[in-house]
Amino acid sequence: MKPSISAFIGKATLAAVAAAAVLGSAAVCAQTRGGTLDAIVQPEPPMLILGLNQQSPTQYVGGKIYEGLLTYGADLTPQPSLAKSWTVSPDGLTYTFVLQSGVKWHDGKPFTADDVVFSADKFLRVTHPRVRVVLNKYVESITAKDPQTVVFKLKEQFTPFLALFGTDNMTMLPKHIYEGTDFKTNPANQTPIGTGPFKFKEWKRGSVIVLERNADYWQKGLPYLDKIVFHVIPDAASRAVAFEKGDVQAIRGNDIDGVDSKRLQALPDVDSTTKGTEFYSTMTSMVMNERKPPFDNVKVRQAVMHAMNRKFIVNTIFFGLGKVATGPISSTTAFYDPNVTPYDFDLKKARALIKESGVDPKATPIKILAYPYGSTWDRLGEYTKQSLEALGFPVEIEATDAGGWAQRVSNFDFDLTFHFTDQFGDPAIGVARLFLSSNIVKGSPFVNNEGYSNPKVDDLFNRASSEGDKAKRQALYSEVQRILVDEVANAYLFEIKGVTMYRKNVKNLVTSGTGMNDSWAKAYIEPLKK
Amino acid sequence: MKFLTFLLSRLGKAAFVVLGVVTMNFLLIRLAPGDPASIIAGESGSSDPAFVAQLRQQFGLDQPLVVQLWTYLKGLLHLDFGFSYRNQLSVFDLIVDRLPATLLLMGAAFVFSIVLGIALGVAASKTRYVNRHRWLDSVIMSLSLLLYATPLFWLSLLAILLFSVQLGWLPAFGMETVGADLRGWDHVRDVALHLVLPTVSLGCFYMAMYARLMRSSMLEVMGMDFVKTARAKGVPAGLVIRRHVRRNAALPIVTFSGIQLGQLAGGAVLTETVFGWPGIGRLMFDALMQRDYLLLLGVFLVTSVMVVVFNLLTDLVYRLVDPRIEFGA
């Protein structure tokens, strides 16, 4: 009995593989194999080992070399990647992943469940600034049931767990290279080995990073491109010129200054999209230090919201590359609720609120700590100065660089500043960190630096992250949004809409919710018509 | 013998200067707020203070400052410049990797500015001296004034717009064509083409300086008695300029070229940024922004050694140009 079943399964698999091969080759015919895609990486990443470094250029380049167990569609639903299927137990405590077969590391060694266990349990638990927090708090054990199956057991329920398995977060790293070594100083860190569609070829520091096609990629027939070249061009104006000249064929929104955006989009052979940012859904906020006057007074914070013309900020300062936010959760992620108190631009109301607050603006000077990420942010600081002065506050702007900014904000040494933060597909990962009172910790930026503390909000966030039922989660997050907006825990300015631009003959560049950080396995270049 | 004593004493003094520079830099850098750990944590969007503490410990930033300085100085004795945490490579390797690009750019800009500057200066003064084509003098002087007053980055961007975007004659960025794998003369030609725009942008300012300096220095020498005597004897103007004037007028140029070589590294930061030139100027800028302390110190050390060496060379060249000058320690 047994042999015949396995023979049957064997035959079925063969048939399936054959069918897939036929479909695959049909797909190949439709696309064009070959070609080099030139892009820009900016700033130059410190290293390419995802898992050891999580800066955005590392994610961008590393996302072609490494893979996670899942990827995410534009609606942020999980899609198969290195895991072909997965199941969650009814109590929400056991996650079982079945891996793809025939996956190899770039050095030819097979990828197995042991690598998954090693990556999640040994490597990322120590090195990954975001994932380690979740792994150490919620995950009890990670085990390989067989070479194709991995089981994650949680201590308590954490509903957004599946949002954590993308390349940026749960990167798979080769056990045979890292086991028993000091991960951070392993010499192999200079030559990344992943499972992705592209292999690392060379890195001339200060000039280019070159990746080449992985001929043994587990998705047969993919990738289409032969080579990807990431150019390091430090000056924003020079980057715009490189794209305009056609020296590079694809740029991300933050590769160029906003001032160049419209002009380049209007070029005749250029296509653009604002898709592919859903997973990050970057939110821009004004952070007010709520430990001291005047921002310890909720009426003052509300007055500030009314005094800022956020449409003007988006359209004039940020060249229309955004959308006015209604609350702390971006409209492009799950659990967004638009039914919150609106703050329209209304100076009269703002002045009335200041009067109600009992604060004497003349006697409370405010210092704005400028956000050191380019001239648009300087303009935002200047506009904010003007708006606060309209309410009667004496305002001063302090300039700083990235290092100074991080240090002062981490030490709560500011009155008012700005930041933009990614939401990573779920409020429990990207939003809660900014408001939980347990996250009021000195020495770390992008946490609850404003000092907002509300036990009700803490409770709602905590319940929502372990609630399994989607409707109930929505109710909890809706209530959180109402409270945070009413109390102006942060001033929500706008959602950044990054524009990806590419030459018209470049296809399939942005296909998922992680956009340009995705693997580009299916990207191809159409030959120019003669 | 006199020369050897001079050289040795200068080198001894230089060592002290460099030691002073290193120590000062080490302490000054620490005055800036923020450290590599806070920057890396910031860029990673971390919310975990334990992670930041772990980074500080890894970088040795939890040690007292004096201990860190001592460790650094001890390492320097063995040419160990430390480890760049940002790049995960040894500082020495990083600098050695990037230094040739900067030296090439500096050398090209230096030769370009000094050759063209002297030629223009001589031409301008000559037209004045022989009282013909005086308009040429005005054109050259106006042009130098314009170049002298134009910001470097603006000039660079305009050059890119004109020669790369509009005309398409020259590449806009980088040091060589990527992926072309050119060999031999093709490779040299490729690098040379990439070198044109950055060289001109970096060299124009000093070219203007040299032109003005050479012209006024020439005119000054031309007014001197020995020149008048030569002219009175009936020596043709061209010969007087070549034999008597030019050599005597060259000394200020030597002085200034020493200063220029010292300053080129600073100008290279901007030029390398605009043109994506992979040299140490940008390495330094990135290291500063990232608070990559050891890398920054390493670049400072190398550039200060360069300045000291250039000054020494300048003093030697004085002697070559004017044998009356003696070596004095």
**pLDDT value, residue B180:** 67
- What residues form DSSP beta bridges with A494? A284, A324
pTM here? 0.83
How sure is the predictor about A73, in pLDDT bands with cuts at 50, 70 and 90? Answer: confident
Residues of chain A found within 8 Å of residue B273, distances taken between Cβ atoms = 234-235
Q: Is the pLDDT of residue A14 over 60?
A: no
What is the maximum alpha-carbon separation in chain A? 89
Residue window 10-69, chain A: list those with CB within 8 Å of chain B. 36, 38, 43-44, 46-47, 53-56
Q: What percentage of chain B exceeds 90 in pLDDT?
A: 13
For residue B77, what are the contacts with CB-CB under 8 A and spacing of at least 6? none
pLDDT tens-digit map of B149-173 = 888 778 888 888 888 888 888 888 8
Total H helices, total E strands in chain B: 14, 2
Residues of chain A found within 8 Å of residue B41, distances taken between Cβ atoms = 129, 406, 444-445
CB contact under 8 A, B88 and A47: yes
For residue A460, what are the contacts with CB-CB under 8 A and spacing of at least 6? A476, A477, A479, A480, A483
Q: Mutate which of B31, B35, B39, B175 to test chain A, going by most A C-beta atoms within 10 A? A: B39
**pLDDT value, residue A478:** 95
Could you tell me the CA-to-CA distances from A77 to A230, A333, A449 in Å, in that order?
29, 11, 31
Instruction: Give the number of other Cβ atoms within 10 Å of residue A451's Cβ.
Output: 17
C-alpha torsion sign, points A98, A101, A103, A109? positive
Residue window 141-160, chain B: list those with CB within 8 Å of chain A. 157, 160
A445 near B CB under 8 A? yes
Minimal C-alpha gap between A453 and chain B (Å)? 17
Could you tell me the CA-to-CA distances from A68 to A50, A119, A146 in Å, in that order?
10, 10, 19
**pLDDT value, residue A24:** 45
Minimal C-alpha gap between A293 and chain B (Å)? 25
Polymer length in residues for chain B: 329
Q: How far apart are CA A207 and CA B283, in angstroms?
A: 11
B291 near A CB under 8 A? yes
CB contact under 8 A, B47 and A447: yes
pLDDT tens-digit map of A109-130 = 999 999 999 999 999 988 887 7
**Looking at B66-216, which runs of residues are DSSP E strands?**
83-84, 89-90
Residue window 49-78, chain B: list those with CB within 8 Å of chain A. 49, 51-53, 58
Contact in structure between B18 and B300 (CB atoms under 8 Å): no
ipTM: 0.79
Instruction: Give the number of other Cβ atoms within 10 Å of residue B146's Cβ.
Output: 11
Q: Is the pLDDT of residue A1 over 70?
A: no
Q: Is the pLDDT of residue A286 over 50?
A: yes
CB contact under 8 A, B174 and A421: no
Q: How far apart are CA B238 and CA B236, in angstroms?
A: 6
Q: Mutate which of B31, B35, B40, B43 to test chain A, going by most A C-beta atoms within 10 A? A: B43
Hey, is A495 helix, strand or coil? strand
Q: Is the pLDDT of residue A28 over 60?
A: no
**pLDDT value, residue A299:** 95
Per DSSP, A446 falls in state S
**pLDDT value, residue A309:** 95
Residue window 235-274, chain B: list those with CB within 8 Å of chain A. 272-274
**pLDDT value, residue B47:** 55
Task: Please compute, for residue A47, the number of CA atoms within 13 A of its CA located in the half-sphere on the CB side.
Answer: 24
How sure is the predictor about A6, in pLDDT bands with cuts at 50, 70 and 90? Answer: very low
CB contact under 8 A, A232 and B283: no
Radius of gyration of chain B (CA): 24
Q: How many residue contacts between A and B have a Cβ separation below 8 Å?
A: 168
**pLDDT value, residue B329:** 47
From B33, B49, B279, residue closest to A403, measured CB to CB: B33
pLDDT tens-digit map of B25-57 = 888 888 877 777 777 776 665 556 777 787 788
CB contact under 8 A, A406 and B274: no
pLDDT tens-digit map of A232-252 = 988 888 899 899 988 899 999
**pLDDT value, residue B212:** 92
Could you tell me the CA-to-CA distances from B72 to B171, B277, B285 in Å, in that order?
41, 29, 21
**pLDDT value, residue B288:** 82
Measured between CA atoms, the residue of chain B closest to residue A189 is B88
CB contact under 8 A, B34 and A406: yes
Measured between CA atoms, the residue of chain A closest to residue B269 is A234
For residue A165, what are the contacts with CB-CB under 8 A and spacing of at least 6? A68, A69, A70, A78, A83
Q: Is the pLDDT of residue B6 over 90?
A: no
Q: Mutate which of A190, A409, A444 to test chain B, going by most B C-beta atoms within 10 A? A: A444
Higher pLDDT, A65 or A26: A65
Q: How far apart are CA A37 and CA B33, in angstroms?
A: 40
Contact in structure between A431 and A465 (CB atoms under 8 Å): no
A283 near B CB under 8 A? no
**pLDDT value, residue B1:** 62
**pLDDT value, residue B255:** 84
pLDDT tens-digit map of A392-418 = 999 999 988 777 888 888 889 999 999
Residues of chain A found within 8 Å of residue B278, distances taken between Cβ atoms = 204-207, 232
**pLDDT value, residue B125:** 87
Residues of chain B found within 8 Å of residue A206, distances taken between Cβ atoms = 98, 101, 277-279, 282-283
CB contact under 8 A, A132 and B51: yes
Instruction: Give the number of other Cβ atoms within 10 Å of residue A88's Cβ.
Output: 15
From B32, B283, B290, residue closest to A206, measured CB to CB: B283
Minimal C-alpha gap between A358 and chain B (Å)? 35
Q: What percentage of chain B exceeds 70 in pLDDT?
A: 96
Residue with tokens 């290193």: B22
From B48, B94, B161, residue closest to A129, measured CB to CB: B48
B177 near A CB under 8 A? no
**pLDDT value, residue B74:** 87
Measured between CA atoms, the residue of chain A closest to residue B282 is A206
How sure is the predictor about A485, in pLDDT bands with cuts at 50, 70 and 90? Answer: very high
CB contact under 8 A, A204 and B43: no
CB contact under 8 A, B34 and A43: no
Minimal C-alpha gap between A446 and chain B (Å)? 6
Q: Is the pLDDT of residue A151 over 80?
A: yes
Give Cα A478 to chain centroid, integer Å: 23
Contact in structure between B217 and B253 (CB atoms under 8 Å): yes
A444 near B CB under 8 A? yes
Q: How far apart are CA A334 and CA A340, in angstroms?
A: 16
Minimal C-alpha gap between A190 and chain B (Å)? 8
**pLDDT value, residue A99:** 94
Residue type, A63: G
Give Cα A197 to chain centroid, integer Å: 21
CA terminus-to-terminus distance, chain A: 62
